[in-house]
Structure 1
Amino acid sequence: MDLCSLIERNAAFAPDKPATIFEGEILSYAAFSARIEQTARALKAEFGVSRGDRVAILSLNRPDYLVLLYACARLGAMLVPLNWRLAVAEQLFILSDASVKVLVLEQAFAEIIPALEKSLPDTSVVGFDFAPARGSAFDALLARACGDGRNPHTDLTCPLLIVYTSGTTGRPKGAVLRQETLLWNGVMSQHMHALTSNDHVLTVLPFFHVGGLNIQTTPALHHGATVTILSRFTPDAALAAIANGRPTLTVLVPATLQAVTDHPDWLSTDLSSLKAISTGSTIVPPHLIDRFVARGVPVLQVYGSTETCPVAVYTRLGGDLLRVGSTGLPGLCCEAAVIDESGAELPPDTPGEIAVRGPNVFYEYWGNEEATREALHDGWYRTGDIGRRDADGYFWVHDRKKNLIISGGENIYPAEVERVLLEHPDVVECGVIGRPDVRWDEVPVAYVIRRAGCSVEAEDLKAHVMTHLARFKVPRDIVFVDDLPRTALGKVQHFMLRQLYEPAPSEGDAP
């Protein structure tokens, strides 16, 4: 049995049931299962995709994103979702690091192809909505597919996803999630949301994040529910989909909660179909939760990370939602603890590092044994997040991973931005921190020591960063300083930077 078997069983039980709805088109479970099978055949016959091979996808949300995921499960291959907001250089690093065999992409992101042909000429290219000059169109590929579409020794223990997360050392790391990890994650999502085949999930978050893919989307498909997919989030489209599609569940991060509730149509939109919404990704401002609760919609909180698939700690529909700020209890199928530096569990109401253990935890960082050893200890994943739990076992998250900036739901590690800034010949040293922002929660700000005698300006450095990193990672402001706060060993102290240069929250432009 593999994860694709769940789709096949749902297709057998309810072949005509809608699996996905996208731009008005309905794909039944029977058609969804058949397309997965045909895609697996095509990948195997055309490109020789075998057990353990990597297939990458660069696309906005679409049903074929999910088709590729389950086709990889059927073959024992791994899907590598690419964040379409990243710069081409960042995407090329991931493709190279994962040694991707096939890249499937939509035409909007075809700008990567010339660089791909130059640096990774052995990677095959498939276009969703076009035929690349040196590649195939997806539907044409499926039309000529043949064979059995399966590989030997494929089961739930096979790795399925490599999801890259920004690294504290300045390079992203690929968290490897097995098929069984998604299975157990789905069990906990079912428990969290009281999910049944009668539910209708609206997915507005990107599939390249485990939140968009795995908090509700894949669990819904595993339980035979229906998923309406938006290609990307806009508040207009989300509110229209709620009013017209009548979903029962959706996931919104704080930035999208803010955008939806600030929209002119917020108060006039009928929310009565929603039995709950889920939120997480960062510490959630209570006033955003209150806006939904005031309209009769319960708000569930989920805590986790890429490395936990992400469901780990959550509040449950029908459970205790009155503990203000709490992210809930450890999930049905995993453990969570608050520990000290030695790994010993701390008593209730004592702050410490949150650790998670269970079948939902990632297997390894792809090709990075050192980082894997640092993160996993006797099966426990040390998150780096600081929190506490009360005597009843409920968790509160006090602070996110050290130095991590979360801007509009996107993770930004200062080390990554600092690495690029330091590549500029006129930058001697720098430190990047997050500044509170009314719209995006946080935006990156850089403090830079210039090389003596040079006159490089902030806009020059922003342009330099823009050529290497995604736009949302470009510092909103660059402040030139003579010195930076340091440890006794000379390391920049980011927490001191935050204390020394604490500005008022800004109303920023889009990151």
Structure 2
Amino acid sequence: MAASNPVFPHILRHHGDSQALVFDQRTWRYDELHAWAGRAAAVAWHAWGVRPGDRVAWLGGNHPAMIALLFGLARIGATLLPLNFRLAPAEWDQLLADCTPRHLVHDATWSAAAQALAGRAGIAAHGVEALDAEAPEAPDHAAEDAPVLLVYTSGTTGGPKAAVHTQANLLANMRLAAAAQQLGPADTVLTVLPVFHVGGLCIQTLPALHAGARVLLHARFTPEDTLDAIERDRPTLTLQVPATMKALVDHPRWAATGLGGLRAVWAGSSLLPAPLVEAFHARGVPVCNVYGATETGPFSIALPPERAFDHVGSCGWPVPGVEARLGDRHGDAGELLLRGPNVVDRYWPDIPARDADGWFATGDLAQQAADGSYTIVGRARDLIISGGENIHPAEIEQALASHPAVAECAAFGLADARWGEMVAAAVVLHAGAAASDEELLAHLQARLARFKLPRRWFRLESLPKTALGKLQRQALARAVGSPT
């Protein structure tokens, strides 16, 4: 079978002997990583019997072997299923039963869990060393429409679904993301977020490899190691999320750590707390928001460095090649719809992800400014309607987060006999901080309309979140005993 487009699985060979990946004090050149992918393809084809369309799962932390396996499977037309290591074993069982991978590859840290999982699923498990075995070269079955990556959504609105990314989807996303971030061979990208998800894998890591840049890959995020790398290795770009930004800003070494190598920090979140953004801006580092979903690449809407300082809170503009528009209206906002070459066509096994015209409904409510930029104001299902007024939780949360005592917060609706719904707020304070309900309410009164003010307050040790760190508002409402 001739490959219709072998570009994706072979992009690594275009960058020769320059540095590709640095991990655990070892460096792989592009030609070495390309050869490793070839060995992985050969082992999967000849030793494991993997064929086009088959799935192979991965369970482990960030590791170069997962990157090599992804490119190796792409060569033979097979698909990688990265498992979220934060899930419970029963949840892994559910995912494997859903998409039936033939093999499971793991790193040393997750060996015991992987062996147990593979035993329950009745499949073979292999350590990363298996990808270096000798085998004849595998046939090339790369094709644009071949599924290459299955990524499960976090399931905030029900059971998880696997977005089916084709080779063409991934390649398009790499091109779009590399262009938007102006990635080139002179760049060094620091990857600390989990690459089992499209954020850690597809926003910077794969685009950097497409552009010939160097990737510093950490097995996991710690603020100490991240600050060390920023100062010592001087990466030009890194991707963070609010939780890791907060850990960096709150670290005792934050003020003393040199950030001079960074030309930007990109942030993979639809909503970024302004105090965290301002902490980086005060150090002269622009925070560039990137918006997307598991189904959209995810590089879809981006705030470039030159607009980061004057568009705090905005996600920016659709990247060239991606279209955006607002669908069903909810007051001054509408559901954000996206269309582009990096948007998947389906969920596993064959459930449409887009409408007949190719639009993907994100479920997020957005506002569009006169200059065309978009700002996410919340999820459509999280909209609070009180006395006929539409209230976006994000407005309340942004205002609350600006109080110095507030570490985390969430606004949500509770059933109310008179108004339909009332606004409630859950607050997590910084360790050692104190703030009364009256003080927090006064803080909001100066910033929000009266009908948006919380009427009930809850103090919590932490907020309920999914395995990917997304707030679960409905679970929060249920936890306080008054679901909407």
- State the TM-score bracket (shorter-chain normalisation): 0.7 to 0.9
Deviation at 1:385, TM superposition (A): 0.2
SS of 1:376's equivalent in the other structure is coil
Query: Relative to structure 1, is the Cα distance of residues 434 and 203 closer, same or farther in structure 2, using a 3 angstrom cutoff?
Result: farther
Residues 365-414 of structure 1: CA distance to partner in whole angstroms, max 9, x if unpaired? 10252xx36x53420000010011122211010003635999xxxxxxx9
Q: Deviations over 1:133-165 (max 9, x none)?
A: xxxxx24x5223x2222343x222211110001
For the pair 1:364 / 2:364, whether they are aligned, the reply is no
Question: 2:376 & 2:479 partners in 1: Cα distance?
Answer: 31
Greater relative contact order (Cα < 8 A, sep 6+)? 1
Of 284, 288, 291 in structure 2, the residue corresponding to residue 303 of structure 1 is 291
Residues 22-52 of structure 1: per-residue CA shift (max 9 Å, x gap): 1111111111111111111111011111111
Counterpart residue type for residue 384 of structure 1: G
Superposition pairs of residues 183-194 of structure 1, within 5 angstroms: 183-194=171-182
User: What are the equivalent positions in structure 2 for 1:67-82 lying under 5 Å apart?
Assistant: 67-82=68-83
Measured at CA, do residues 264 and 56 of structure 1 come closer, stay the same or move farther in structure 2, by a change above 3 Å? same
1:449-508: CA deviation from partner (whole Å, max 9, x where unpaired): xxxxxxxxxxxxxxxx9xxx9698997998574xx55xxxxxxx3xxxxxxxxxxxxxxx
CA distance in 2, matches of 1:182, 1:364: 14
What is the alpha-carbon distance in structure 2 between the residues aligned to residue 61 and residue 319 of structure 1? 32
8 Å CA contact 2:277–2:312 kept in 1: the answer is no
1:149 aligned onto 2:138? yes
> What is the CA deviation profile of residues 167-217 of structure 1, one whole-angstrom value per residue up to 9, with x for unaligned ones?
356321000111111212122212221111110000010001111001110
Counterparts of residues 218-237 of structure 1 (less than 5 Å) = 218-237=206-225
Structure 2 match to 1:102: 103
What is the aligned partner in structure 2 of residue 379 from structure 1? 358
Deviation at 1:107, TM superposition (A): 3.5
- The AA in structure 1 aligned to 2:137 is D
Matched, 1:351 2:333: yes
C-alpha separation between the residues in 2 aligned to 1:333 and 1:439?
42
1:390 equivalent in structure 2: 369
Deviations 1:283-322 (A, max 9, x none): 1011111111111111111111101111110012334641
Q: Does 1:199 align with 2:187?
A: yes
How far apart in 2 are the matches of 1:401 and 1:256?
A: 26
Quickly say closer, same or farther: Cα 1:196–1:118, change in 2 above 3 A: closer
The aligned counterpart of 1:420 is none
Q: Given the alignment of the two structures, is residue 126 of structure 1 paired with residue 126 of structure 2, yes or no?
A: yes
Q: Equivalent residue for 1:314?
A: 302
Q: Which residue of 2 aligns with 1:291?
A: 279
The answer to whether structure 1 residue 213 and structure 2 residue 192 are counterparts is no
**1:255 and 2:243 are equivalent in the alignment:** yes
Matched residue of 1:271: which SS? coil
SS in 1 for 2:219: coil
Task: Find the partner of 1:10 among 12, 15, 22.
Answer: 15
Are the aligned partners of 2:92 and 2:117 in contact in 1 as well (CA < 8 Å)?
Answer: no
3-state SS in 1 of match to 2:109: helix
Show structure 2 runs of 5+ residues with no match. Answer: 384-392, 395-411, 413-423, 432-463
Decide whether the 8 Å contact of 1:192 with 1:317 is kept in 2: no
Are the counterparts in 2 of residues 216 and 251 from structure 1 also a CA contact under 8 Å?
A: yes
Do the aligned partners of 1:254 and 1:284 also contact (CA within 8 Å) in 2? Answer: yes
Question: Deviation of residue 113 (structure 1)?
Answer: 4.6
In 2: Cα distance, 1:394 partner to 1:44 partner: 47
Between the aligned residues of both structures, percent identity stands at: 38
Contact 1:355/1:383 (<8 A) preserved: yes
Q: 1:479 to 1:61 in 2, by over 3 A?
A: closer
Shift in CA distance, 435/266, structure 1 to aligned 2, threshold 3 Å: same
* Structure 1 counterpart of 2:78, one-letter code: A
Query: 1:363, CA displacement in angstroms?
Result: 2.1
Moved more, 469-478 or 177-186: 469-478
Quick one: distance in 1 between partners of 2:155 and 2:25? Answer: 39
2:454 corresponds to: none
Residue of structure 2 in register with 1:326 after alignment:
314
Contact 1:191 1:316 in 2 (8 A): no
TM-score (norm 2): 0.78
2:80 aligned counterpart, secondary structure:
strand
Over the aligned positions, Cα root-mean-square deviation in angstroms equals 3.0
TM-score (norm 1): 0.74
**Residues 315 and 321 in structure 1, CA contact (< 8 A), matched pair in contact too:** no
Alignment length, in residue pairs?
A: 407
In 1, are the aligned partners of 2:59 and 2:104 still within 8 Å (CA)?
yes
- 1:500-511 aligned at under 5 Å gives the runs none
Q: Which moved further from structure 2: 353-362 or 159-168?
A: 159-168
The amino acid across from 1:287 in the alignment is: P
Partner of 1:56: 57
Contact preservation (8 Å) 2:291, 2:315 = yes
> Residues 221 and 340 of structure 1: is their aligned pair in 2 closer, same or farther, counting only changes over 3 Å?
same
Q: Distance in 2 between matches of 1:158 and 1:323?
A: 39
The AA in structure 2 aligned to 1:297 is V
Q: Which amino acid in the other structure matches residue 148 of structure 1?
A: E
Match of 1:402 among 381, 393, 398: 381
